[in-house]
């Protein structure tokens, strides 16, 4: 009798599981049709497409928490020396800038710490901002023009480890403080994004980051022209940089609406980063400013595994989370999941890539890099890893921007063409050991290399393993090495790698500027040109582009820029992902703008608050 009962139970389970799988498949087919019909943002309530904008007239309520996921600890929380996405996300709530951008086209710049858009001279070389009265840092000290001047001194201090940031302010040759609330930036050459970059500069409190006043007697001009090295303040400048680089990776103070209240409690390695709403935030009731945030705490749970993060989401321990494609396709359509979460689906502003170290013995040859792209089945990966939730790209420009070059021919998956390119470059299996090789400087070099990925990122691991599998059949030895995020970044920035899988963030709002990543000057230590790509024509284009205020001429310059990258293949450009983000239904005020959501708008009604 028990055996019969077990058989009935097994049949019942089979029906339930099979029925559940069928329902999931049906749901996915409906959603696929919705997504294929548009490239715009889509918000899904179950499998129904719903409006992007919150339209209720309810008054927002303060309180509750928002719990989010970070795959790894922010490398550091220094607003100028950090350069990873996790740190940028956290610090965006703590620091403020002179201006902020509207969330809707044309993305006009509006006053934040400044009263409004700067006064710009006719020759576009002087930008003058007037600061608001009543702006305070979170410790109660007023924010003045002196803090703005100090911030520019920090950026132009070449001993500060911020080349990725400094390049955007290369045109600034001097800063003048006019009274307590006006500051003028004097430039030696025009840059069409000066209003944006100067306006979005995070402002540091001088009293906190330079309590000894080490930079007080230092002029910005001396930092720009390098005369400080022979001047009387060299020791002060170097001492400040050493302290700034080392002492402020966990100590944070800004004028923004959230604070790290207690670093010992709120910054726990491999566990969490907790931000607390500043009850005394200066901008809370200032007319004309965008909402600064309604939740009492923003908690970033550090979960170094995407599968574990999804389990935390389904267990109710995360409120907002980016789903991996497999999770979106197969695990997010149950009645329970749909009852608790909505989903927003949007194309990312950035792109994924495989970076080839252009100084490497093997990858210094563009024919080899071209061959590697032909050996990367990008379309197959989009289908099998991303489940169609991505579009391949041929360059670094946002595919929906007018600067993107749509005339570039796609590097198709073509092993035969790749082998021809490798043969032309001198690669063959001379010793017949099954691995391609080439005599370089009198030595037989096997085609063997290591590709780095950061631990916990399953998508990047899948990319590397798929490439490894494809390469072994044609005689290339590829080893995949998984590293903790901080060690991975050290390797990349130190150019201590053969190849790596990474991604760049980006946006559709503003015209691109590839100088940080592609100019040869950025191959310096900690610079963003980690692959050591050097091309004189690209350098000239990037410099000319910055000085050009005519959009059509800029587009023409960037068309050529992309043609060169397409020929050189310093990266294998993979795709622009389309990401689904699940978020708890208890949040109100949710509007999806073209660049994405603005989480400071979100609030939770008193009756459904959890914390």
Q: Which helix (H) or strand (E) holds 182?
A: strand 182-187
Q: Residue 150: is its pLDDT beyond 80?
A: yes
Largest CA distance in the chain: 95
For residue 2, the model assigns a pLDDT of 35
Residue with tokens 């945030």: 293
Q: Which residues is 442 bridged to in the sheet?
A: none
Does residue 139 contact residue 152 with C-beta atoms inside 8 Å? Answer: no
Residue among 211, 220, 218 at smallest CA distance from 235: 218
For residue 14, the model assigns a pLDDT of 46
For residue 22, the model assigns a pLDDT of 66
Confidence of residue 21 (pLDDT cuts 50, 70, 90): low
Contacts of 484 (CB under 8 A, 6+ apart): 72, 304, 454, 455
Domains of the chain (ranges; CATH) run 77-247 (3.90.76.10), 351-577 (3.10.105.10)
Q: Indicate the range of 10-19, 227-236, 471-480 predicted with least confidence.
A: 10-19
For residue 17, the model assigns a pLDDT of 42
Kindly report the length of the chain: 611
**pLDDT tens, residue by residue, 419-448:** 999 999 999 999 999 999 999 999 999 999
**pLDDT tens, residue by residue, 266-311:** 999 999 999 999 999 999 989 999 999 999 999 999 999 999 999 9
Confidence of residue 585 (pLDDT cuts 50, 70, 90): very high
Measure the CA–CA gap between 217 and 319, rounded to whole angstroms.
48
For residue 20, the model assigns a pLDDT of 55
Mean pLDDT of the chain: 94
Measure the CA–CA gap between 450 and 468, rounded to whole angstroms.
10
Tell me the whole-structure pTM to 2 decimals: 0.90
For residue 13, the model assigns a pLDDT of 36
Q: What percent of the chain has pLDDT over 70?
A: 96
């Amino acid at each position: 009798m028990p055996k019969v009962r077990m058989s009935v139970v097994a049949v019942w389970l089979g029906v339930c599981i099979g029925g559940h799988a069928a329902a999931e498949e049906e749901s996915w087919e409906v959603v696929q049709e919705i997504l294929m019909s548009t490239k715009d943002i889509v918000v899904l309530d179950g499998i129904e497409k719903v409006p992007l904008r919150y339209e209720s007239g309810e008054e927002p309520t303060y309180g509750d928490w928002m719990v989010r996921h970070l795959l790894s600890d922010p490398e550091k929380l220094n607003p100028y020396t950090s350069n990873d996405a996790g740190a940028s996300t956290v610090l965006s709530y703590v620091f403020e800038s002179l201006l902020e951008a509207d969330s809707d086209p044309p993305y006009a710049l509006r006053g934040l710490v400044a009263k409004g858009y700067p006064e710009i001279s006719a020759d576009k070389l002087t930008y003058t901002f007037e600061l608001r009265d009543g702006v305070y840092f979170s410790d109660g000290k007023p924010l003045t023009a002196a803090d703005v001047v100090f911030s520019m001194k920090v950026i132009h201090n070449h001993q500060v480890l911020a080349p990725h940031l400094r390049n955007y302010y290369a045109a600034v040759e001097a800063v003048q403080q006019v009274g307590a609330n006006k500051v003028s930036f004097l430039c030696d050459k025009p840059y069409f994004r000066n209003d944006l970059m100067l306006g979005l500069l995070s402002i540091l409190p001088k009293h906190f980051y330079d309590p000894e006043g080490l930079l007080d007697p230092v002029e910005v001009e001396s930092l720009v022209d390098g005369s400080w090295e022979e001047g009387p303040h060299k020791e002060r400048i170097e001492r400040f940089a050493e302290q700034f680089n080392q002492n402020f990776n966990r100590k944070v103070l800004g004028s923004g609406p959230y604070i790290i209240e207690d670093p010992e409690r709120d910054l726990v390695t491999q566990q969490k980063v907790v931000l607390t709403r500043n009850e005394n935030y200066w901008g809370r009731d200032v007319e004309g400013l965008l909402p600064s945030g309604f939740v009492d705490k923003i908690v970033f749970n550090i979960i170094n595994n995407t599968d574990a993060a999804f389990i935390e989401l389904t267990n109710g321990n995360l409120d907002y989370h980016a789903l991996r494609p497999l999770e979106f396709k197969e695990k997010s359509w149950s009645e329970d999941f749909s009852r608790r979460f909505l989903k927003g689906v949007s194309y990312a502003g950035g792109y994924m890539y495989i970076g080839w170290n252009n100084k490497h013995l093997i990858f210094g040859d563009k024919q080899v890099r071209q061959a590697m792209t032909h050996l990367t089945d990008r379309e197959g990966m989009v289908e099998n890893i991303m489940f169609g939730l991505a579009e391949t790209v041929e360059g670094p420009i946002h595919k929906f921007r007018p600067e993107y070059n749509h005339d570039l021919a796609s590097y198709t998956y073509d092993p035969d063409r790749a082998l021809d390119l490798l043969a032309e470059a001198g690669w063959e299996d001379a010793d017949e050991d099954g691995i391609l090789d080439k005599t370089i400087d009198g030595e037989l070099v096997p085609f063997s290399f290591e590709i780095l990925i950061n631990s916990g990122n399953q998508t990047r691991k899948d990319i590397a393993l798929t490439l490894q599998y494809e390469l072994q059949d044609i005689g290339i030895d590829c080893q995949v090495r998984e590293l903790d995020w901080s060690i991975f970044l050290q390797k990349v920035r130190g150019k201590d790698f053969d190849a790596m899988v990474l991604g760049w963030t980006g946006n559709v709002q503003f015209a691109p500027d590839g100088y940080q990543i592609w100019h040869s000057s950025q191959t310096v230590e900690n610079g963003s040109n980690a692959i050591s790509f050097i091309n004189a024509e690209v350098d000239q284009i990037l410099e000319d582009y910055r000085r050009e205020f005519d959009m059509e001429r800029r587009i023409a310059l960037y068309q050529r820029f992309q043609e060169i990258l397409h020929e050189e293949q310093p990266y294998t450009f993979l795709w622009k992902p389309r990401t689904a983000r699940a978020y708890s239904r208890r949040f109100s005020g949710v509007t999806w703008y073209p660049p994405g959501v603005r989480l400071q708008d979100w609030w939770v009604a008193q009756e459904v608050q959890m914390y």
